[in-house]
């Protein structure tokens, strides 16, 4: 990574962390309602399982955190929202540290998918934060990893409209792909008593896999790119 990109990444990361610190309490409280109360009765893992779980949970929080900005670039964001009205043109809640954004995706199918993904990623961040806190006493604040920042910058540079649609489908499917291998490992490396975490990981595998193939189908139908495959560099978590 060159020095200019590193500087940009550092500034963006600080903005994200600053904005998130103001919203972390609300996000975590929402997640507390979504995670089974059984988690609080379970203890931490031991040895290698504990190390893997802490690494996985911090990884998936940061991974999902980068998706928030990606999806709001596609769908747009609105700081003032009416929860009583389902408006297909309404954007996501802005990512902490960012102002409102106009939607760059032109296809409603992509904008709708992005809104749904944004909500799901926020819920999964809060669930992972609670597991870290309940089992390991860690109050983790999301941060933006360099790989996530590079994807965001790529989408920010892409012109709005059909060109953005194609780029988003490729970037976001590769982003999803990066979560598959660690989440598969979670199913066999997490503590044997942590059924809730394995269900969490299993859900991520199922949802991300289905979403990747949905985006591949869109690339084939809308852009005649029928042989696209997602790629990702994934580090070991154990």
What pLDDT is attached to residue 232?
77
Selection from 225, 237, 218, 228 nearest residue 60 by Cα = 237
Range of the domain at 184: 3-223
Exposure letters 3-40 (e unless 16+ CB within 10 A, then b):
eeeeeebeebbeebbeebeebbeebbeebbeebeeebe
Is residue 228, in this structure, part of any structural domain at all? Answer: no
The token duo for 148 is: 């996530």
Whether residue 23 is predicted with pLDDT greater than 60 in this model: the reply is: no
When divided into structural domains, the chain yields a total of 1
What pLDDT is attached to residue 217?
98
Q: At 235, is the secondary structure helix, strand, or coil?
A: coil
Q: What is the CATH number of the domain that holds 182?
A: 1.20.1260.10
The band of 47, judged by pLDDT with boundaries at 50, 70 and 90, is confident
pLDDT, tens only, 48-93: 899 999 999 999 999 999 999 999 999 998 766 555 444 556 667 7
What pLDDT is attached to residue 234?
65
Whether residue 17 is predicted with pLDDT greater than 90 in this model: the reply is: no
What pLDDT is attached to residue 24?
42
Is residue 236, in this structure, part of any structural domain at all? Answer: no
Whether residue 10 is predicted with pLDDT greater than 50 in this model: the reply is: no
Is residue 121, in this structure, part of any structural domain at all? Answer: yes
pLDDT, tens only, 159-172: 999 999 999 999 99
Which of 45-54, 126-135, 199-208, 217-226 has the weakest average pLDDT? Answer: 45-54
What pLDDT is attached to residue 6?
43
What pLDDT is attached to residue 113?
95
pLDDT > 70: percent of the chain: 75
Is residue 231, in this structure, part of any structural domain at all? Answer: no
Whether residue 2 is predicted with pLDDT greater than 60 in this model: the reply is: no
Is residue 193, in this structure, part of any structural domain at all? Answer: yes
pLDDT, tens only, 85-125: 445 566 677 777 777 889 999 999 999 999 999 999 999 99
Task: Please state the rounded mean pLDDT for residues 142-168.
Answer: 95
What pLDDT is attached to residue 98?
79
Whether residue 33 is predicted with pLDDT greater than 80 in this model: the reply is: no
Helix, strand, coil distribution of the chain in percent, nearest 5: 70, 0, 30
Is residue 237, in this structure, part of any structural domain at all? Answer: no
Q: At 77, is the secondary structure helix, strand, or coil?
A: strand
Is residue 124, in this structure, part of any structural domain at all? Answer: yes
Is residue 53, in this structure, part of any structural domain at all? Answer: yes
Across the chain, mean pLDDT equals 82
């Amino acid at each position: 990574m060159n020095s200019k990109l590193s500087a940009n990444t550092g500034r963006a990361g600080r903005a994200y962390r600053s904005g998130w610190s103001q919203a972390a309490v609300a996000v975590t409280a929402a997640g507390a309602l979504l995670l089974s109360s059984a988690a609080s009765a379970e203890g931490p893992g031991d040895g290698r399982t504990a190390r893997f779980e802490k690494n996985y949970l911090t990884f998936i929080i940061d991974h999902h955190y980068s998706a928030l900005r990606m999806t709001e670039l596609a769908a747009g964001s609105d700081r003032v929202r009416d929860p009583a009205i389902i408006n297909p043109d309404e954007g996501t809640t802005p990512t902490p540290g960012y102002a409102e954004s106009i939607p760059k995706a032109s296809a409603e199918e992509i904008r709708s998918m992005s809104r749904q993904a944004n909500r799901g990623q926020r819920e999964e961040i809060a669930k992972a934060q609670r597991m870290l806190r309940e089992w390991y006493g860690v109050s983790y604040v999301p941060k933006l990893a360099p790989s996530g920042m590079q994807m965001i910058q790529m989408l920010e540079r892409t012109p709005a409209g059909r060109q953005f649609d194609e780029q988003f489908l490729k970037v976001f499917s590769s982003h999803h792909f990066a979560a598959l291998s660690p989440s598969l490992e979670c199913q066999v490396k997490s503590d044997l008593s942590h059924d809730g975490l394995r269900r969490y990981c299993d859900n991520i595998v199922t949802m991300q896999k289905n979403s990747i193939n949905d985006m591949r189908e869109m690339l084939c139908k809308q852009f005649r790119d029928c042989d696209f495959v997602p790629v990702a560099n994934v580090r070991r978590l154990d």
